[in-house]
Amino acid sequence: MRILVSGLLLTVTGPEAYGQPGFQPEIPRVWDEAALAEWATPVAGLNLRPKHISEKEYYAQRVENLRTYPVYAPGREPEGYWRRLQQTGPRALIERSELKTEEDWIRAGKRVFDEMDLLHLRTLDRKYINEVRNGSEAPSRMLPDGTLFGMRWVPTSEGVALSFSNCSFCHVKFLPDGTRVAGAPFQTVAPRPPETFRVWPLISRVQLSKGVLVGSPPFFMPGEPIGTQLYRAYGVPWRKDDIHKSLKSATQTDYEALDLAARAGGIPRWNGSPLFPAKVPDLIGIKDRKYIDHTATHLHRGVGDLMRYAALVTSAEAAEFGPHKMVGKATRRPGLRVPDEALFALALYLYSLQPPANPNVFDARAAAGQKLFERECARCHVPPLYTSNQLTLAEGFEMPKNRPASLDVLPLTVGTDPGLALRTRKGTGYYKVPSLKGVWYRERYLHDGSVASLEEMFHPERLKETHEPGGFRPVGVKTRAIPGHPFGLHLKAEERAQIVAFLRTL
Ligand code: HEC
Ligand code: HEC
């Protein structure tokens, strides 16, 4: 009963391995030169893989293995909570010796998912701590139990630090009835009140006070103007007409406007773009997907790759693309990493995630929709995963002849906005065919989250310039067409409604 990770596949010998004592996983080495060599997809326009930091550099980083605890809104902190946190002292986030069964590992992974913080943003500065504990207003959205969304206390050897959630910041959704769904995409600004994102200004101030570059993963570069930071995070120097050049002269106010607009659809991640945001994907079902990110920036060959991706976005970004080095010599990385076993447990937990109970019944209407679906959609959204696990070409992208054999490409384009795939550092030229499982609880559709409902997605009006997108639209734009993915739009209104009814049952 071992998990043998060949670097390609996770093989468990016999289903009886689950839940039995003696689960002795062979944990893949997360930063492994051999596994990293062909992991990333070449970037469009450069036709080169982004560089990764070396194995040596990765493992030279200090290991951080600390539990974190919820932050309560002012006035909601239980009696004695703060004192108990002081007395608790640093505790291990993961302790390998205590994990005997696969369930133990998954439970440990849940803790990593819920508790892992943005290591580089921990602060012991009393100013922020007092503001959070005693401020007149909670700096973040309060959840029904009185805790604050996205914030964590971290007992360290130097005292209790304030920090912010990592994976669970963006990859947790609250259903309208308050149910917390781990792995489902967190919803962005509209139509919710912007209060949901109140925590961002505080994160921004902590970042600036520490000299951390905007965006994740972290690099330290104190005192740079915001425009310089934004260009480092999002600039694409190999493109002659790089639209991100304009970010160089951006002010804090410009940045906030861009960020707010992007968040109506997605979240601009490092190497992505606030001008071409990426929707937060659903992590439920990730186990069955062959590629990571909307643009398939990385392969997902097994548990090691999911661990690698978690490490990459937490502390291992190199930000080098062929001759283009986005961070200069004066820039420091925080030099922190979490233990490999924490990432392994996290990945097993992500693999174990299940969707919430679906309230939509499969009725006659949905059955009619299924027939139409089989005719119009199933060649790409192949059941039972509702994706063929293939890539499509972004509009205008010519596939390089020497593309890696690991990319399974349908030689066609669905014609959606090519910005993320062609004009950013996450741009590979491809968009993957997404799985449609769970579309009923997601609130944004297409890679940029420009569509806010399935009705909008399957309404022909969205192809017109007079359309008012329900999700992402650029700053200052009220109406514009959401192009592409014309499938189903030619059908009668009732037929489209049937397809939507069917989609809601998946
Ligand atoms: C600030 C928000 C944010 C945080 C924090 C965050 N993610 Fe994500 N994640 C995103 C967004 C946005 C994307 C889509 C990026 C893209 O496609 O370019 C994404 C993509 C992913 C994907 C690819 C899924 C797919 O189907 O393509 C995985 C896996 C993932 N994140 C896991 C994690 C893990 C694990 C952590 C914690 C270590 C984490 N994320 C932290 C926002 C976030
Ligand atoms: C030729 C392949 C293809 C066909 C046929 C196709 N799709 Fe898609 N579908 C895609 C691709 C590729 C995307 C992602 C595009 C993007 O994000 O830019 C997508 C996205 C979607 C999304 C948004 C999912 C999300 O999470 O963002 C839905 C919903 C959807 N398709 C449903 C359908 C339905 C219903 C049909 C038939 C009426 C259909 N598709 C036909 C390839 C296809």
Whether 289 contacts 303, CB under 8 Å: no
Rounded distance from Cα 3 to ligand 2 centre (Å): 35
Structure tokens at 214: 């905007």
Ligand 1 center–CA 457 separation, angstroms: 23
Strand partners, 73: none
Lowest mean pLDDT among 10-14, 88-92, 252-256: 10-14
CA of 353 from ligand 1 middle (Å) equals 15
DSSP letters, 10-37, are EEESSGGGTT-TT-EE-PPPSS-HHHHH
Residue 338 C-beta-side C-alpha neighbours within 13 Å: 31
Percent of the chain with pLDDT over 70: 92
499 CA closest ligand 2 atom index:
35
Write 38-42 long-range contacts (CB < 8 A, 24+): 38/299, 38/404, 38/406, 39/298, 39/299, 39/301, 39/305, 39/308, 40/297, 40/298, 41/291, 41/295, 41/296, 41/297, 41/298, 41/299, 41/404, 41/407, 41/428, 41/430, 42/400, 42/403, 42/404, 42/428
Candidates 171, 173, 270, 416: which one to mutate for ligand 1, based on the most atoms within 8 Å of Cβ? 171
Helix (H) or strand (E) holding 336: strand 336-337
Q: Which of 146-155, 168-177, 207-216 is modeled with the greatest confidence?
A: 146-155
Token pair of 106, please? 């998954």
Terminal CA-CA length for the chain: 34
Separation of CA 188 and ligand 1 centre (Å): 14
pLDDT at 49 over 50: yes
Is residue 237 scored above 70 in pLDDT?
yes
What pLDDT shows up at residue 212?
A: 78
217 pLDDT tier (thresholds 50, 70, 90): low
Residue nearest to atom 43 of ligand 1 (CA): 170
> What would the mean pLDDT of 321-325 be, rounded to a whole number?
94
Q: Average of pLDDT values for 364-369?
A: 98
Structure tokens at 286: 């990730």
Ligand 2 center to 50 CA (angstroms): 28
Q: How many CB atoms lie within 10 A of CB 421?
A: 28
Helices 252-263 and 226-234: crossing angle, nearest 10°?
Answer: 40
Give the pLDDT score at 393: 98
List the single range of 52-66, 192-206, 241-255, 366-380 with lowest mean pLDDT.
192-206
Residue 151 pLDDT > 70 = yes
Q: Give pLDDT, residue 315.
A: 86
Pocket (CB within 6 angstroms of ligand 2): 294, 373, 376-377, 379-381, 392, 412, 414, 416, 431, 433-434, 436, 439, 442, 445-447, 457, 485, 487-488, 499, 503
Mean pLDDT of 251-257: 87
Nearest residue CA, atom 6 of ligand 1?
A: 167
Mean pLDDT over 42-55 rounds to 95
What is the rounded average pLDDT of the residues 483-505? 97
**Mean pLDDT within 97-105:** 95
**Cα of 10 to ligand 1 centre, how many Å?**
21
Beta carbons within 8 Å of 142's beta carbon, 6+ residues apart: 73, 76, 148, 149
**DSSP letter for each residue of 115-160:** H-B-GGG-B--HHHHHHHHH-SS-SSPBPTTSEEEEEEEEEETTEE
Nearest-atom number in ligand 2 for the CA of 412 is: 1
What number does the ligand 1 atom closest to the CA of 346 have?
A: 35
Mean pLDDT of 333-350: 94
Bridge partners, residue 10, by sequence: 5
Q: Which ligand is nearest to the CA of 441?
A: 2
Who has greater pLDDT, 332 or 272?
272
Of 460, 437, 427, 327, which is closest to residue 382 (Cα–Cα)? Answer: 437
Q: Which ligand is nearest to the CA of 268?
A: 1
pLDDT reported for residue 9: 39
Model confidence pLDDT, tens digit, residues 449-479: 999 999 999 999 999 999 999 999 999 999 9
3-state secondary structure of 440: coil
Residue 16 has pLDDT above 50, yes or no: no
Q: Using a 6 Å CB cutoff, which residues line ligand 1?
A: 166-167, 169-171, 266-267, 269, 272, 278, 280-281, 283, 286, 289, 292-294, 306, 309-310, 313-314, 426
Compute the mean pLDDT over every residue in the chain, rounded to the nearest whole number: 90
For the chain, the structural domain boundaries read: 27-347
At residue 168, φ and ψ (nearest 5 deg) are: -75, -5
What pLDDT, on the 0 to 100 scale, is given for residue 209?
83
**Cα 224 to ligand 1 centroid, rounded to whole Å:** 27
